[in-house]
Amino acid sequence: MKLRRFLPLGIIFFLTLLCFCAPLIESARGIDSNMADLGSRFLPPSATYWLGTDELGRDVFLRLLYGGQVSLGVAFLAALAAGSLGTLIGMTAGYAGGKTDAVLMRLTDLLIALPALPLLIILAALDLEKLGVSADMAQAKYVSLYKIALLIALLSWTTLARLARARTLVLRQSDFVRAARALGVGHGRILLRHILPNIMNTVSVAVTLAVGGIILMESVLSFLGLGIQPPLPSWGNMLTHAEDQMWENAQLMVYPGMLIFISVLCFNFTGDALQDRLDPRNLERK
Amino acid sequence: MTPDILLPRLLQAFLTLLILSFLVYTLIGLMPGDPVDLMIAGNPNMTAEDAARLREIHGLDRPLLLRYGSWLAAAAAGDLGYSRLYGLPVLEVIGPRVINTVLLMGISLLLTVAVAVPLGVFAACRKNRAADRIIGFFCLAGISLPAFWLGLLLMALFSVKLGWLPAGAALESADVKIRALSMVMPVMTLTLAGMAIYIRHLRSAMIDALRADHIRTARAKGCSEPRVVWNHAFRAALPPLVTIFMLDLGTLVGGAMTVETVFAWPGMGKLMFDAVMGNDYNLALCGFLVLAACVLAANMLADILYTVLDARVAAGGKA
């Protein structure tokens, strides 16, 4: 029972660790994962290339690990940003009430209703230089990583904001908050010291559940060629050429998809289990 | 829903669209290159002065608000401009694409409901027993599966390995059999990928409904179990489900979009993708607005349906 509950979390931890150990494995085996070698394209798995090589002769196993760094990194970054943004907006709306609440929640509802992926595609295609980012920075290797994380965060804070608002509305009326008010504690301090710690439970579960969706979003965008830009690998953009490769080298499209699937599944499992534990309706079982 | 409730909602949706159009207009102006760059790209005789003159002729040097104003005025008169990529008026390009997307989403939605309703109700009746656990596991797996990868896997299996189905959509094919066969995989992908979320919603709505007092009453007066489940509980679980269905439409459109791109299905999703990739700003703008309008309309429809389905609201009370 215990083991089953910790298994998904354990897999995530192991995968993350493995991905971020990629440079160590790379130097230990003496292969450069970015080095294209057209003489050794589409090699089958061997002692040197554990999972074979891709269309440019690069080691698939190492590319998967580096891709995992990017995919998981974007997911953690975006989830953190969406969580902070959602909590901030939800807490502000719930605590301030009145017009502020109405405007913020109207915005949230609108964003929930909009088709996210088409919007994301438009946003991802924006020219950073026209937004005032210098040409050097716009061309930098890791810029697509931060851009995608930011964009996904901008579109996925809505559920979190609603949750944070609902909890804040309840807490605002509670005796301890009113007591703090009566003692003359400022609004900022009340939000930070009295309300925030009490909504962290709810928010962190929701963030865990959101990570899965974020990994999926990043993988779709990168698969379409609008997300993480090569040569930086991500599990999504490693599938971009899958349709051309599936006739002769179908194994290449199995690995990245499998890793996306497993990591999203583990996050959803963990989130679901946490949610079940916090849901008062499930108390009757115990 | 009476007109005095409907009218403000319509007005609100219209205002939302107006604001959206301005936002998207601004965003699209921030995409790489501009129409004049594209015009002169293939012509080596053009000088920088020519480009500047062209910009002046087409009004591209005017401030953003003025440009948006003239775009809006033309749009109000029914002229949404031309698509650069297809060389046709935007509306003529979008029209058939909308029908194709509705076709894809409609068929898979019907299939989804046909599978999800029995499974969801069954899982709720067997709450926390083995069957429910198994369905629950497959649902979680379904939610975690990247739809585009599922499509690729199906394609590798049915087109490459077995050779049973064509790899891409062939909706224009004269042969009815090929046309039908080419629709199998996109519909299958969208159904398999979308099913899980509905089963989960249905299960939790049914569990809530089965807990209600009127269910105990129905059982006490000797209703048969199927009658209790379908006539009493399912009927009560329906209104929140309709809302979820409709509110989820935005996500559904996103899912359809990926499937369309994988299978080259000529729908709105593929169109939007091609438009953005091909720097066809006007098409991307109008495509997104059409999608947003559809989703907003569906949300409104959900509100109306809710009042029809929920006896308490229909009777004039508050739900």
Interchain contact B288–A (C-beta under 8 A): yes
Domain-embedded: residue B119: yes
Does the pLDDT at position B296 exceed 80? yes
Statement to judge: residues B22 and B112 lie in one domain:
no
Q: Domain range for residue A50? A: 2-285
Residue B19 has pLDDT above 80, yes or no: yes
Our CA-based measurement puts residue A251 at a distance from the nearest CA of chain B, in whole angstroms, of 10
For residue A283, pLDDT over 60 is answered with: no
Q: Does B153 touch chain A (CB under 8 A)?
A: yes
pLDDT confidence band for A124 (50 / 70 / 90): confident
**Residue B82 domain-assigned?**
no
Residues B55 and B109 in one domain: no
Please indicate if any CB of chain A lies within 8 Å of the CB of B257: yes
CB distance from A247 to chain B under 8 Å?
A: yes
Q: Which residue of B has its CA nearest to A263?
A: B144
Those residues whose C-beta lies under 8 Å from the C-beta of residue A138, and which sit 6 or more positions away, are A127, A128, A129
* Four-point Cα dihedral A238, A242, A244, A249, nearest 10: 100
Pair (B124, B201) in one structural domain: yes
Q: What is the amino acid identity at position A281?
A: R
To 10 degrees, the CA torsion angle through B140, B142, B145, B148?
-160
* Section A75-99 average pLDDT: 94
The CATH number of residue A250's host domain is: 1.10.3720.10
pLDDT of residue A286: 41
B156 and B48 both lie in a single domain: no
Q: Give residue B285's pLDDT.
A: 84
Instruction: Mark yes or no for CB contact B152/A131 under 8 Å.
Output: no
The answer to whether B30 contacts chain A (CB < 8 Å) is yes
Pick the range with the lowest mean pLDDT from A68-77, A192-201, B49-58: B49-58
Residue B84 lies in a domain: no
A130/B141 touch (CB, cutoff 8 Å), yes or no = no
Instruction: Please tell me whether residues B104 and B69 are part of one structural domain.
Output: no
Find out whether A53 and A40 touch, Cβ atoms under 8 Å. Answer: yes
Domain residues for the domain of B37 are 3-76
Q: Let me know: does B193 contact B142? Beta carbons within 8 Å.
A: yes
Both B113 and B66 in one domain: the answer is: no
Q: How many domains does one find in chain A?
A: 1
Length reported for chain A: 286
For the segment A41-61, the average pLDDT, to the nearest whole number, is 74
Q: Which residue has the tokens 């004039």?
A: B316
Residue B48 has pLDDT above 50, yes or no: yes
> A232 CB contacts (<8 Å, ≥6 apart)?
A70, A141, A142, A144, A145
Domain assignment present for residue B209? The answer is yes
Task: Let me know whether B29 and B142 are in one domain.
Answer: no
> B76, B99, B117 — which closes off a domain?
B76
Please tell me whether residues B70 and B119 are part of one structural domain.
Answer: no
Residue of chain B with shortest Cα separation from A212: B144
Look at residues B45, B76, B107 and tell me which one is the last residue of a structural domain.
Answer: B76
In a domain, B83, yes or no: no
Tell me whether residues B253 and A121 touch, CB distance under 8 A.
Answer: no
Reduced to 3 states (helix: H, G, I; strand: E, B; else coil), residue B313 is helix
- pTM of the prediction? 0.87
Residues B101, B34: one domain?
no
Tell whether B289 lies on the interface with A, counting CB pairs under 8 A: no
A260 touches chain B (CB under 8 A): yes
Query: Do B117 and B56 belong to one domain?
Result: no
- Which of B76, B109, B141 delimits the end of a domain? B76
A250 touches chain B (CB under 8 A): yes
- Return d(Cα B142, Cα B136) in angstroms, integer: 10
Same-domain check for residues B51 and B114: no
What rounded mean pLDDT belongs to chain A? 85
**Residues paired with B88 in a beta bridge:** B83
Nearest Cα of chain B lies from the Cα of A248 at a distance, in angstroms, of 9
| Cis geometry, peptide bond prior to residue A233 (ω within 30 degrees of 0) | no
Q: Which residues in chain B have their CB less than 8 angstroms from residue A247's CB?
A: 160
| CA–CA min distance B209, chain A (Å) | 14
A120: closest chain B residue by CA = B254
* B187-220 residue pLDDT tens: 999 998 888 888 988 998 898 888 888 888 888 8
Closest-CA residue of A relative to B248 is A113
Give me the residue from A112, A125, A239 closest to B149, CB to CB. Answer: A239
Q: Is residue B224 part of a domain?
A: yes
CB spacing of A246 vs B30 below 8 angstroms: no
A119 touching B (Cβ < 8 Å): yes
pLDDT at B231: 83
CATH code where residue B114 lies: 1.10.3720.10
Q: Which segments of A126-195 does DSSP mark as H helices, in order?
A: 135-139, 143-155, 158-172, 175-182, 187-189
Cβ–Cβ contact A102 with B under 8 A: no
- Nearest by CB to residue B140, choosing from A112, A226, A265, is A265
Same-domain status, B59 and B137: no
pLDDT of residue B38: 67
Q: Count Cα neighbours of B104 within 13 Å in the Cβ-side half-sphere.
A: 35
Size of interface A-B (CB pairs under 8 A): 131
Give B-chain residues touching A272 at CB under 8 angstroms.
140
- pLDDT band for A74, please (50, 70, 90 cuts): very high
